[in-house]
A and B are shown apart, each in its own frame.
Chain A
Amino acid sequence: MSRLKKVAELEQKRKEIVAGEKKETAAVAVCCGTGCSASGAVEVAEAFKKVLAGKAAEVPVKTRVTGCHGFCEQGPLVVIEKSNHEKEKARGETESTEKDAGRDEGSSLQLPGNLFYCRVKPGDVEEIVEKSVLESEVVERLLYSDPVTEERYYSEHEVPFYAHQERLIMGYNGMIEPDRIEDYLAVGGYKALRKILEENASPVEIIEEIKKSGLRGRGGGGFPTGQKWELCRKADGEQKYVICNADEGDPGCFQDRSILEGNPHLVLEGMIIAAYATGANKGYIYVRNEYPLALKNIMQATRQALEWGLLGEDILGSGFSFEVRISRGGGAFVCGEETALLSSIEGLTGEPNPRPRPPYPTAKGLFGMPTLINNVKTFAAVPLIISKGAEWHRAYGTGDSRGTMVFSLTGKVNNTGLVEVPMGMSLRELIYDIGGGIPGGRQFKAVQTGGPAGGCLPESMLDLPLDYEKLSEAGSIMGSGGMIVMDDATCMVDLAHYFLSFTVDESCGKCVPCREGGRQMLALLEKFICGQALEGDLHMIWELATAMQKSSLCALGKLAPNPVLTTLKYFEDEYRAHFEQWRCPAGVCRALISYSIDEEACNACGLCLKACSAGAISGVPDSTPLLEDELCTRCGACLDVCRHSAILVK
């Protein structure tokens, strides 16, 4: 491929690709994101390629190995497409403009157009091809079936998990092979870049459009994106940088990874537009060390964009130049903080800059030059805003929170996965309508939003709308979109301890409030866990937390007390039970619980006997085993193996 030299050549190229695609009668999209791959999706994709290669003469069908479709719980996922309806919709070729029009049409397609199969195994592939690809039959057992109603659904749009979402960004993942720039072009990719170059748009116009769209930083801060771009554009500096922060370190968050893995060109296009608007000609993408596939895909995308003339010198003959380098993180959570990230790229230990701010990186950032740093999701929203308009984006969301947010819905919830919803949706809709509620008939207890720096919200706050301000008022944050659901078997003290030990572990140690405050607070929480806390410790925690919030250098230290404060605020009774009654109500804290065997429920199968590595369970065949409390380490191994709920934890 030789570099494209004119904007018009890009459109020409796109038309050729689309014309080629229309010859295909069907496509099989296999989700090979990290989640599905871990469930064996790569083998499923290989099987499809092999079986379909043998049928190539009968029907030209393409196996598309795609990025994450979001519904990780049900992986490996396979979508059989018999029409190009979705892609045409993405390109804007269908007439329906109403938001829900596509959905209605989707379900009235002739079956089995766009069939959605889950938990597919390589052994199912032959049958799927014979029945659903070559013929028009459905393999019923592979359809998604609702765990409560047992109703079966044929297409993706009907499945409740997807039906309540607005997948503006994530929706493209299923239509694209991440390592094919052609696929991205075919669904309307690089259209926004084409538009600004064709119209010779001025940076001011672009920034105005972003401002009007209401887009705010999706990495956690929620700073208005347009305003940030403007600050960087107006800053003086002979060299400016645009950096994509893909150091997604919050435990329980994987949306940035899934976007980079599944649709790297979308992020790249957003960065190119940002560079054009701010006057930068160098960029970095800082990818978390633990994300090898994301790293590989974004590197490949950068190479392709360079080959095609969409990056590098004189992009599409416009005179505008921009080069991007990929930087791999070293495995330090604090590097997600922007000044620490800059230090890491500069080849230093990733510690936050001790200077008081301002100046912000937009004025004095990488190598002392003006630098724009945005999150993956922020850049991913940019091409859509430019090509579809600020008004289109504003139509989603509420108040000052516009557009959609991608959440990682995990923990004790039936439908784990990535969900993209308009801002302002309530927690209840997210957890129950999309997430399908709590598994195993247990009770909802709390939800942690915003990762380890966020807060825990109780059942009484389930109707809270998900927007930046409302979450902040409740003591939590939007953060980068983590959403961890907890049931009544989760101990809130243990959870606060878990989050705090994470931040203490990841504290770089530079400032005293974070380094020492964190440790001391952790020691206090340990007293609760061991049942040795005193009344005054509750107040001490509060005092320490306030000091950390006020005086830590960076957001890591300032936000670290959030989980402790919110659990204390909403679940004080549970804290009190730990020292007033020496009891852990959720049955988690080892020092405060004991195991026993329920003789009535036990059928003397002896599995617990084998599982116990502490030698605490003894017995003879056909009688209820004996559990010796003194030897028991409360490891829970017996609980895992018991099929009769005969192990009691009190």
Chain B
Amino acid sequence: MKEQVEKIVDKYRTEEIDLVAILHEINSSMRYLPKEALEVVSEELSIPLSRLYGMASFYRGFNLEPRGEHEIHVCLGTACHVRGGARILDRLSEKLGVGPGETTADQKFTLNRVNCVGACALGPLVVVDQRYHGRLDPLKAERLMEEYYEQA
């Protein structure tokens, strides 16, 4: 892991270091920000670990726990809200047995809420692994999850 993180850090070693970009790249290649990885960044760039932890916990885009195989984002933007987005989140949360931000015990799904993905015309919608599924209702969303289970 040390080498992998060092490689990422080296890519961004410029005059104005883009720390958010470094964390993004680690987060996407390792599916979260492992403590060990943050320790390497801290050492390489002489930045206190506490500051890195502060960033990792401040930004919604970073995870301190491993994410599931599939990432579900339920849109709760205003347009989706007035068309019943919250009911979809409730239903999925009930079916998967996890709350928003949590991962199922089998590591299959991570359920997230997102404040608008900007596809408001298709609301309410759910994004699974960057694929948009629009014009849903709670039952259709549940069936969508079942399809992902069947595929596996």
Contacts and interface: CB of A to CB of B under 8 A. Distances in A.
Find the residue from B17, B91, B139 having the highest chain A CB count within 10 A. B139
A417 B60 CA distance: 27
B87 interface: yes
Interface stretch (A16-24, A272-280, A634-642): A634-642
22 contacts: A35-B120, A38-B119, A38-B122, A39-B134, A72-B121, A248-B118, A251-B81, A252-B77, A252-B78, A252-B120, A289-B60, A327-B20, A328-B20, A347-B19, A348-B51, A408-B118, A452-B78, A502-B115, A635-B90, A637-B137, A637-B139, A641-B139
Majority SS of interface residues in chain A? Answer: mixed
B23 A416 contact: no
A408 B90 CA distance: 27
A482 interface: yes
A416 B54 contact: no
Nearest to B61: A331
Interface in B1-31: 16-21, 23-24
Most central of A344, A410, A635, A641 by chain B CB within 10 Å:
A410
A117 interface: no
A131 B115 CA distance: 43
Contacts of A248: 118
Nearest to B120: A410
Contacts of A258: 118
A289 B62 CA distance: 10
A482 B82 CA distance: 14
Contact of A486 (B58, B82, B118, B134): B82
A411 interface: yes
A640 B139 contact: yes
A625 B79 CA distance: 33
B20 A329 contact: yes
Interface string B36-63: 0000000000010001001100111110
What size tier do the contact residues of chain A reach? Answer: 35 or more
Nearest to B86: A498
Contacts of A254: 116, 118-120
A347 B118 contact: no
Given A327-B20, A410-B79, A635-B87, A417 B121 contact: yes
A482 B122 contact: no
B84 A636 contact: yes
B114 interface: yes
B41 to A, nearest CB: 11
Given A34-B119, A502-B115, A411 B59 contact: no
Interface string A445-476: 00010011000000000000000000000000
A38 B18 CA distance: 31
Contact of A333 (B81, B115, B119, B120): B115
B132 A635 contact: no
A250 B79 CA distance: 11
A347 B59 contact: no
B18 A347 contact: yes
A364 B75 CA distance: 37
A37 interface: yes
B62 A484 contact: no
Contacts of A611: 139
B54 A332 contact: no
A217 interface: no
Nearest to B24: A328
Contacts of B60: 289, 330-332
A142 interface: no
A613 interface: yes
A39 B125 CA distance: 11
A178 to B, nearest CB: 16
A289 B23 CA distance: 12
B11 to A, nearest CB: 13
A218 to B, nearest CB: 17
Nearest to B62: A330
Contact of A350 (B58, B82, B122): B58
B100 to A, nearest CB: 11
B137 to A, nearest CB: 4
A167 B130 CA distance: 30
